[in-house]
Amino acid sequence: MKALVCGISGQDGAYLAKLLLDKGYEVIGTSRDAQISDFKNLTRLGIREKVWLESMALNDFRSVLQVMHRTQPDEIYNLAGQSSVGLSFEQPVETLESIMSATINMMEAIRFLDRPIRFYNAGSGECFGDTLGVAANENTPFRPRSPYAVAKSAAYWQVANYREAYGLYACTGILFNHESPLRPERFVTRKIVAAACRIGKGSKERLRLGNTSISRDWGWAPEYVDAMWRMLQGDRAEDLVIATGINHSLGDFADCAFRYFGLDWREHTDIDQSIFRPTDLPFGCGDSRKANKINGWKAETRMEDVIQKMIDAELEYEK
């Protein structure tokens, strides 16, 4: 089996590549310019030399078609695109193009090649918007409240349309928040963990956070890429919610990280109104019982264990 992983340099792309290699796949990864990208996450996982890398511009249909024709994949995982909700408010056009245009280019290329390629699209729990304290499932309507969520919602409907109109095996995993040591520090979870580690070792810095009352459903990224793979192994394509079903506030996340070092997070944190988002979801939580019923997937790692793993990796990385 041969898999094409678009966005292989990111957190999910790297973990997915490792999972696929372990399963015996030939893995091709793409980046806009593979010649200059450092692929540090692949190096960190020890798989940099085991992956075939290609340059591909997802917003350029010709580039997408050429790479897909040349590599002849059996499965395609679309994990690329601007991935920060906060940044999407500053770069709404780039966010929309890198997610929506890229997805339609890939779907069109699959249709053009007319091969039995199975396609996974990375969706997001952000698409649901404010669910008023109720865990979202596959029947919950989308009410996106950020440029990122709007783009992900549009991509979701594109995939559903191509599946229904042209009979493609194409599906979207609607994933809620999932973290790991491979997260860039611009993501608030890694930002908290990294700051807690430095402060725990004696740094006098202050951690700046936005709205700490928001709550999210945080899982462990390596488990979530397993869900992606499972979604392409079934008899028919189905969109599925992937989540732990448990939510915690951002304050709870910070408290857990700082307690590892015997510290009170409030004594080392400043709330900065300037980094509040124009609109933010007070609650985010997913119901993944359908995924468990269809392919046996279930989240095993809870937020406290995710934080422990991230701290252990952070401390090891700093040695």
Class of 2-179+219-246+287-300 in CATH: alpha beta
Task: Give the pLDDT of residue 306.
Answer: 97
Kindly report, as residue ranges, where domains of CATH 3.40.50.720 are found in the chain.
2-179+219-246+287-300
Tell whether the model's pLDDT for residue 147 goes beyond 80.
yes
**In this prediction, what percent of the chain has a pLDDT beyond 90?**
85
Select which of 101, 124, 153, 288 is catalytic: 124
pLDDT average, residue stretch 280-295: 94
pLDDT average, residue stretch 109-138: 95
Q: Which CATH architecture has domain 188-215+247-280+304-317?
A: Alpha-Beta Complex (3.90)
Kindly report, as residue ranges, where domains of CATH 3.90.25.10 are found in the chain.
188-215+247-280+304-317
Select which of 148, 156, 162, 224 is catalytic: 148
pLDDT average, residue stretch 92-99: 90
Task: Give the pLDDT of residue 84.
Answer: 80
Active site residue 37: no
Active site residue 124: yes
Q: What is the DSSP string of the chain?
A: -EEEEETTTSHHHHHHHHHHHHTT-EEEEEETTTTT---HHHHHTT-GGGSEEEE--TT-HHHHHHHHHHH--SEEEE--S---HHHHHH-HHHHHIIIIIHHHHHHHHHHHHT---EEEEE--GGGG---TT--B-TTSPP---SHHHHHHHHHHHHHHHHHHHH--EEEEEEE--EE-TTS-TTSHHHHHHHHHHHHHTT----EEES-TT-EE--EEHHHHHHHHHHHTSSSS---EEE--S--EEHHHHHHHHHHTTT--GGGGEEE-GGGS-SS--SB--B--HHHHHHH-------HHHHHHHHHHHHHHHT-
Task: Give the pLDDT of residue 319.
Answer: 63
pLDDT average, residue stretch 66-77: 97
Active site residue 203: no
pTM of the prediction?
0.95
Select which of 31, 83, 101, 126 is catalytic: 126
pLDDT in tens, 260-275: 999 999 999 999 988 8
pLDDT in tens, 149-187: 999 999 999 999 999 999 999 999 999 999 999 998 889
